[in-house]
Amino acid sequence: MTNANLTPHIACAPEDFARTVLMPGDPLRAKFIAETYLTDRELVNNVRGVQGYTGYFEGKRVSVMASGMGMPSIGIYSYELFHMFGVEQIIRIGSAGAIDPSLQLFDLVLGQGACTDSAYTSQFLPRGTYAPIADYGLLSAAAAECERRGLRHKVGNLLSSDCFYGESGIPGTLEWRKLGVLAVEMEAAALYANAARAGKKALCICTISDLVETGSVTTAEQRQTAFHDMMQVALTIA
């Protein structure tokens, strides 16, 4: 690893990252993925404790680095990876709350598109509404891999919200459900918009960790085990 500071947030050389980066929100989950799945792994970034690793999965060179929480955070890291480190595709792997009542805990949702209540995408347009979408190649590969593994999954719209603790819960949950939105998370719209603007590829794969309608939630221990399905799908299509 070359000790170079290209940005205030990532301290390594561009060649230290693979062309594909998996991005969980949690730095400790990035560490877990690297230690569990990657061979010949190397810590390439640890600025602000946001751990990034590069190694090999079944012969493919892959990186994994945390994004932090929310669109501003993943917006910074994905922008830098796309524009300054030569990364070609980012696959977000995280948790989401189910809005669609047919979803169950631990189901996978593949984000075909990402609706949002954020103003993040307004920076790209003087007026109008941009529709952030996934890369079709990554999306179709992930769906096929879920089918091959027999995993419960749905493909459709996510809601990327700026609010975790809203005054009245998640704003407009019922309205979003009426429009067919499957689940809510906090990062995909910014990632998809950044990828589109950079001419790169992105996909968000989420594991359902809670059910908005019933209030059912998973434990930290359950998530640690159940998230393996999502991680393996992402690594296989990387």
Tell me: the pLDDT tens digits for 173-186?
888 999 999 999 99
| Residue 107 known to be catalytic | no
Residue 83 banded pLDDT, cuts 50, 70, 90: very high
More confident residue, 169 or 13: 13
Residue 195 to residues 37, 74, 95, 100, 207: CA-CA distances in angstroms? 26, 11, 20, 27, 22
Quote the crossing angle between the two packed helices 188-198 and 71-84, to the nearest 10°: 20
Partners of residue 22 on adjacent β-strands: 64, 91
All structural domains of the chain with their residue ranges: 14-237
Of 26, 117, 162, 210, catalytic: 210
- Model pTM score: 0.93
Do the bridges between strand 89-98 and strand 183-185 make them parallel or antiparallel, or are there none, so unpaired? antiparallel
Domain 14-237 has CATH 3.90.226.10: no
